[in-house]
């Protein structure tokens, strides 16, 4: 029994010694590491991915808190996109980036209607999309949105046939600067992005209206369409 106790103490001592050999870098250094990763990454990065890249013992979540605070009021901000983080241009300076756009890809009315239905009713099946639109959804429309990585396959619905559902992606939220799917773009945002030239027919999209009052009223009801 005594030998077992001594062995246990030796193992614990060895573990403490190993941990001491891998002390976490100072929080300021961790902040610099997170900043470098986010700056160089083309896609938003999750906290887990940050921790996987950083030295043993580092805390990416804490480093993000410091980094986000340091970027407040600057030309770029550290923003949350879904479950991930990214460095993005401050919204009020977005007009400076307009000349950087090489090509604006406009969606067809059918694609816009389909995307809007998926965004506001996700997770939604193809049959449900067709029921809301009143017409069939072509495979080309869905394939286009999948290729743009604005929608993806969701979980299968627990109904006969187990039909697959569609949901919007993190890329969709990142494009419109959304933190979550609850803050969906209205007509103004779609037109600003060059995706909508004229007002769609009634019923094709949620009636958000053109005025700020209408948009505020619509925003209050959007949260009821989504799961927590």
State the pLDDT confidence band at 218, using cuts at 50, 70 and 90. Answer: very low
Report yes or no on 48 lying in a domain.
Answer: yes
Residues 41 and 90 in one domain: yes
pLDDT given for residue 17 in this prediction:
43
Would you state the structure tokens that stand for residue 8, as one six-digit string?
A: 């246990």
Would you state the structure tokens that stand for residue 86, as one six-digit string?
A: 């990214």
- Percent over 70 (pLDDT), the chain: 68
Q: What is the pLDDT of residues 109-156, one digit of tens each?
A: 899 889 988 988 889 999 999 998 888 888 889 999 999 989 999 999
pLDDT given for residue 21 in this prediction:
52
Residues 113 and 196 in one domain: yes
90: CB partners within 8 A, 6+ apart: 74, 75, 76, 77
Strands 124-125 and 84-89: unpaired
Report yes or no on 193 lying in a domain.
Answer: yes
Report yes or no on 21 lying in a domain.
Answer: no
For the chain, how many residues are written? Answer: 228
Tally of structural domains, the chain: 2
CATH number of 179's domain: 1.10.10.10
Phi, psi (deg, nearest 5) at residue 171: -65, -40
pLDDT given for residue 104 in this prediction:
61
Q: Is the pLDDT of residue 198 over 70?
A: no
pTM score, whole prediction: 0.46
pLDDT given for residue 164 in this prediction:
92
Q: What is the mean pLDDT of the chain?
A: 77
State the pLDDT confidence band at 206, using cuts at 50, 70 and 90. Answer: very low
35 and 66 in contact (C-beta within 8 Å)? Answer: no
Q: What is the pLDDT of residues 24-73, one digit of tens each?
A: 889 999 999 999 999 999 899 999 999 999 998 899 999 999 999 999 99
pLDDT given for residue 70 in this prediction:
93
Residues 113 and 88 in one domain: no
> What b/e sequence results for 206-220 when a residue is b if at least 16 CB atoms lie within 10 Å of its CB, and e otherwise?
bebeeeeeeeeeeee
Residues 62 and 127 in one domain: no
Domain residues for the domain of 120 are: 109-200
């Amino acid at each position: 029994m005594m030998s077992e106790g001594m062995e246990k103490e030796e193992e614990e001592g060895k573990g403490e010694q190993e941990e001491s050999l891998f002390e976490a870098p100072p929080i300021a250094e961790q902040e610099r590491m997170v900043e470098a990763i986010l700056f160089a990454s083309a896609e938003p990065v999750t906290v887990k991915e940050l921790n996987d890249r950083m030295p043993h013992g580092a805390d990416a979540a804490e480093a993000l808190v410091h980094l986000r605070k340091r970027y407040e009021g600057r030309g770029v901000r550290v923003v949350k996109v879904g479950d991930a983080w990214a460095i993005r241009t401050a919204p009020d300076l977005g007009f400076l980036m307009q000349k950087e756009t090489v090509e604006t890809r406009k969606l067809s009315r059918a694609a816009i209607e389909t995307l809007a239905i998926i965004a506001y009713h996700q997770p939604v099946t193809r049959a449900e999309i067709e029921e809301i639109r009143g017409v069939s959804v072509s495979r080309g429309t869905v394939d286009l949105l999948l290729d743009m990585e604005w929608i993806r396959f969701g979980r299968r619905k627990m109904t006969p046939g187990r039909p697959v559902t569609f949901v919007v992606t993190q890329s969709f939220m990142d494009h419109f600067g959304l933190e979550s799917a609850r803050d969906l773009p209205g007509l103004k945002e779609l037109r600003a992005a060059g995706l909508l030239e004229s007002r769609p027919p009634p019923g094709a999209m949620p009636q958000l209206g053109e005025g700020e009052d209408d948009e505020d009223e619509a925003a209050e009801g959007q949260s009821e369409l989504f799961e927590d």
